[in-house]
Every structure is written in structure tokens, then in C-alpha cells.
């Protein structure tokens, strides 16, 4: 089922997600709906907060993003990220690497807004999958950026919080309109 994606201005986007203690049919159905919603919106990631649920659950699929390569390592071996998509990450924990880089990001909760955002160039991820298994991998490129962006959502942090003050100032009018529109609906 395709769910409504909440737009900037909705307070739930600023809410830290609760740990998922039990992976049940409700969580599996939510993850399936989130994937369907993300694909319908042509996104590469979606967090539970963006569909109105304050849980530590995110979905990611970078397999169609040919123009923005991703790298992935499992147990220290480089693997093809496409073989691991889509990712459903429950209660993810991130360990950012030392190096950072700036790259373009957008967000389904901020239609038509993109910005240059600094992120760790490589990130180590530990999470659970839908079967409750522990998964660990490292990611770089678009996948690394997407994982960090979605993990921020789970902590109530939005990508505009990581923009330079000049970038945020230049988008102030658009952000104000988005927030006002979300209050109307």
C-alpha cells in the first residue's frame, strides 16, 4: 500500500524513532508499504517518520541510481550493492569514517529541494533485517550517503540541519512555503 509521505513542517519528522523490540507482521507490512511508497516516489530511501511512524526503521534501494555509484563491503569484502537491495534496516547504528565529503542530496519530504551536504565518505552500519538477523556492512558513495541521511531521519534530524547557513538562507522562502502547506493539509 502506498502511504502518504509527510512534508517538511510535520512535527513527526522531528521525532526520534523508538527502538523496535519485536519484528512482527505490523513491522513487516510497514516495511513493505514503505518500499512501495519509496519506489512510487522515485526515491532511494525512506524512513518511518516520513510516513508518520516514530520507529527506527528505514528502507533503501540505490540499484537504479546508475549516475551515482555506490560501494558496499560485507565482512571486509567488496560486494555488488545491487545484490543486497532493497535494504530494510531495523534499529540501525552507524559508525562514520574519518574522511568526509560534500555531495548533493534531496529528500522526499522536501519536494524539489536539493543541497550540498557534508557526510562521512564511508560508514559502517549494524542493524537487524526483517528476520531479526544482525547485519553488518560498510557503505560509500550514494549508498553511504543514503544510509546516513535515513539514519538522521530516525533521530529527528533533517538534511536542512546539515546545510550551510548560506544554503539554508537561500532556501528560506521555499522552506516556509512547504511548512505552511503541510499545516493546511
The answer to whether residue 179 scores a pLDDT higher than 90 is no
Enclosing domain of residue 128: 11-184
Predicted pLDDT at 65: 86
Give the pLDDT confidence score for residue 27 in this predicted structure.
98
pLDDT digits (tens, 9 = 90+) for 101-116: 999 999 999 998 999 9
The answer on pLDDT for 185 being more than 70 is: no
CATH number of the domain that residue 82 is part of: 3.90.45.10
Please state the domain count of the chain. Answer: 1
Average pLDDT over residues 131-154: 97
User: Is residue 178 reached through a cis peptide bond, with omega within 30 degrees of 0 on the bond before it?
Assistant: no
pLDDT, one tens digit per residue, over 67-112 is 899 999 999 999 999 999 999 999 999 999 999 999 999 999 999 8
Active-site positions read 150
- Report yes or no on 4 lying in a domain: no
Ramachandran quadrant class, 9 (left: phi over 0; alpha: psi -120 to 50; beta: rest): left
Specify if 1 maps to a domain.
no
Amino acid at each position: 500500500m502506498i502511504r502518504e509521505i509527510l512534508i517538511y513542517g510535520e512535527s513527526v519528522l522531528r521525532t526520534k524513532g523508538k527502538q523496535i523490540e519485536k519484528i512482527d507482521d505490523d513491522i513487516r507490512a510497514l516495511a513493505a508499504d514503505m518500499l512501495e511508497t519509496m519506489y512510487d516516489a522515485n526515491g532511494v530511501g525512506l524512513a518511518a517518520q516520513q510516513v508518520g511512524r516514530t520507529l527506527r526503521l528505514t528502507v533503501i534501494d540505490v540499484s537504479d541510481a546508475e549516475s551515482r555509484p555506490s560501494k558496499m563491503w560485507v565482512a571486509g569484502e567488496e560486494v555488488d550493492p545491487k545484490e543486497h537491495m532493497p535494504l530494510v534496516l531495523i534499529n540501525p547504528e552507524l559508525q562514520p569514517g574519518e574522511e568526509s565529503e560534500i555531495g548533493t542530496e534531496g529528500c522526499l519530504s522536501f519536494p524539489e529541494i536539493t543541497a550540498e551536504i557534508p557526510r562521512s565518505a564511508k560508514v559502517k552500519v549494524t542493524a537487524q533485517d526483517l528476520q531479526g538477523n544482525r547485519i553488518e556492512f560498510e557503505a560509500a558513495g550514494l549508498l553511504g550517503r543514503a544510509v546516513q541521511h535515513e539514519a538522521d531521519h530516525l533521530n529527528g534530524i533533517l538534511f536542512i540541519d546539515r546545510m550551510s547557513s548560506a544554503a539554508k538562507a537561500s532556501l528560506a522562502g521555499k522552506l516556509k512555503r512547504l511548512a505552511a502547506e503541510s499545516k493546511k493539509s
